[in-house]
């Protein structure tokens, strides 16, 4: 039994709409990439570096999320790393790349697919999907909760604290 760990958790924005295809067996495969920004100090100045991470989403989960995975949308993903290998047709050399196989995906706020009601108010829905594509939770958040990552203020706590 291996003691190695292959787990990754990322939050980033989609660089383009998810592309969908199907295997010869009829299984849906969604491919997308996310951009992750990193701030670092170079001498006396702060610089920003962007990393682009390729992700793959399988099965019913890919089909269910296709309409929501649009360019600019912020998502949180949990998954594992997988190395893909292929032979370059022109040179015959082996090529490699690392992708994230997504097990769970959470739609976060922002981007083109924000949930807006008829009055133009942002509903701030947070949705979380697991490997099977089932919607584990869909919870409307108030604008205050949405702006603080789902944590409200002191009014959200019960006054009857036993200590």
pTM, full prediction:
0.65
Q: What is the residue extent of each domain of the chain?
A: 8-153
| Cβ atoms of residues 144 and 117 within 8 Å | no
**Closest to 105 in 3D by CA, of 79, 85, 124, 144:** 79
For residue 9, give the 3-state DSSP assignment.
Answer: strand
Question: Residue 155: its pLDDT value, please?
Answer: 55
Question: Residue 109: its pLDDT value, please?
Answer: 74
pLDDT, averaged in runs of 10, over the chain (163 residues)? 91 96 96 94 92 96 95 96 94 95 90 40 49 48 44 53 52
Q: Six-digit token pair at 31?
A: 């491919």
CATH assignment of 8-153, among 2.40.50.140, 1.10.3720.10, 3.30.465.10, 3.90.105.10: 2.40.50.140
What is the distance, to the nearest Å, from the Cα of residue 129 to the centroid of all Cα atoms in its chain? 10
Question: Residue 115: its pLDDT value, please?
Answer: 41
From CA 15, how far away is CA 130, in angstroms rounded? 22
Question: Residue 139: its pLDDT value, please?
Answer: 45
């Amino acid at each position: 039994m291996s003691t190695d760990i292959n787990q990754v958790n990322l939050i980033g924005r989609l660089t383009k709409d998810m592309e969908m295809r199907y295997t010869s067996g009829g299984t849906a495969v969604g491919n997308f990439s996310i951009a992750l920004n990193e701030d670092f100090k170079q001498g006396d100045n702060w610089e920003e570096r962007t990393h682009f991470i390729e992700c793959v989403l399988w099965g019913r989960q890919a089909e269910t999320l296709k309409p929501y995975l649009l360019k600019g949308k912020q998502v949180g993903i949990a998954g594992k790393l997988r190395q893909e290998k292929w032979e370059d047709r022109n040179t015959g050399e082996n090529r490699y790349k690392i992708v994230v196989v997504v097990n769970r995906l959470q739609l976060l706020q922002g981007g083109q697919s924000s949930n807006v009601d008829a009055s133009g108010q942002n509903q701030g829905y947070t949705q979380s999907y697991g490997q099977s594509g089932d919607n584990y939770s869909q919870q409307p958040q108030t604008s205050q909760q949405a702006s603080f990552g789902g944590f409200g203020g002191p009014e959200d706590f019960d006054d009857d604290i036993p200590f």
